[in-house]
Structure 1
């Protein structure tokens, strides 16, 4: 998202624990793209600041495949980052905010209340991703033949 949204002129707030900063080259690219399109990109370590005025709140998995040995430490490092209705309310997210997640979801990352709510578009997101991937495969196959 950081690589694409600023190029499209879409503003975003990025939030990570201080121990997991956005790599400088990625941040510089996103900032340059944002400047070129008029988007705003802000970086935070406080989730409440990051969700301020947010229309969409997105989280990713905290422990990726192959990182299982880091799970206990990552869960400690990401304590306080779980997306919840309370976080959105306290941080001042927009009234009609929606939630996205790339799946698979772990309960540490988002509460059941949010994940299974009307605010959640995770299953539509997964469906859209499926059709996008199939379209790319189709284009590559057509190009190869």
Structure 2
């Protein structure tokens, strides 16, 4: 597990500085406000993005492809059966060859080491659009949504309820970078990775990890959750669902949050498991705004790395 500032690639949210995150969010706000402005089509005119997808996707694929189109660029969707990797071509060779054709590579992969190897050998920027370690593009959309609702990030309390997964990891790191308090509530054995917590501490955070979801949500401004069974964890599904039963985000749990709290979920949601219909479709839900902001933040990221 590696971290650090990589100015060419976006593999971890900490490859950006807090100032760069702020600038990307500002740009995303601007692009959202003037969507449909024909002048935006000149931003990435003539640029191509190779989008490698080892995992299925709705929001990530659609947001990337529409973002590139809105900015005048072109996306090549490359599923797991569309490349010669399955026939033995190496990642370094794939990275070197794609670098001769395209201006950037976005990859949605199982193993974060795949991204690191692509990043080492590609001569163009590599963007993490999901790995088992982090999901930085999701977190930028989340931060954008929180800032839209509260007008700020610093000083807010985030409660993460559920699995200490890749989205949780990036949330922890981003909270440390942007001056947000974060409390994670997970069942024993399913909390965030110790190396993620240590990395966040070095960035100035102080993540609190508990097993009591009520304690985590108490006074929270943002209540965030995700599926209990991520892609790749299907073999452990029965045990996970049992372990997470009391970590459902429902009206009773949400009653312990601050009066103006919002609820977030990166989707897809398993309604009736990690979140109830009442909360997901209720007045505190920011989930659809959060989903839409994947598009606008993706535009700002693509402009930052491909121009």
* TM-score bracket for the superposition, by shorter chain length: 0.7 to 0.9
Aligned-partner SS, 1:3: helix
Output aligned runs, 1:1-145, within 5 Å. Answer: 1-34=171-204, 40-89=206-255, 92-107=256-271, 108-142=273-307
Distance 1:86 1:118 in 2: 15
- Give ranges in structure 2 of 5+ residues lacking alignment: 1-170
Aligned-partner SS, 1:22: coil
Find the structure with the greater CA-based Rg: 2
Task: Check whether the contact 2:191–2:209 (CA below 8 A) recurs between aligned residues.
Answer: no
- Give ranges in structure 1 of 5+ residues lacking alignment: none
Aligned-partner SS, 1:103: coil
Task: Check whether the contact 1:34–1:41 (CA below 8 A) recurs between aligned residues.
Answer: no
Distance 2:204 2:276 in 1: 31
Distance 2:246 2:207 in 1: 22
The C-alpha deviation readout for 1:71-97, integer Å capped at 9, x for no partner, is 1111011110000110122xx211121
Q: Shift of the alpha carbon at 1:52? A: 0.8
Task: Check whether the contact 1:85–1:113 (CA below 8 A) recurs between aligned residues.
Answer: yes
Distance 1:135 1:96 in 2: 28
Task: Check whether the contact 1:55–1:93 (CA below 8 A) recurs between aligned residues.
Answer: yes
Aligned residues: 136
**Superposition TM-score, scaled by structure 1 size:** 0.86
Task: Check whether the contact 1:15–1:50 (CA below 8 A) recurs between aligned residues.
Answer: yes
Q: Which runs of 4+ in 1 moved over 6 A?
A: none
Q: Shift of the alpha carbon at 1:133? A: 1.4
The C-alpha deviation readout for 1:48-82, integer Å capped at 9, x for no partner, is 11101111100011111222222111101111000
**Superposition TM-score, scaled by structure 2 size:** 0.42
The C-alpha deviation readout for 1:80-129, integer Å capped at 9, x for no partner, is 0000110122xx21112110000001110101000001110011001111
- Provide the aligned C-alpha RMSD in A: 1.5
Q: Shift of the alpha carbon at 1:5? A: 1.0
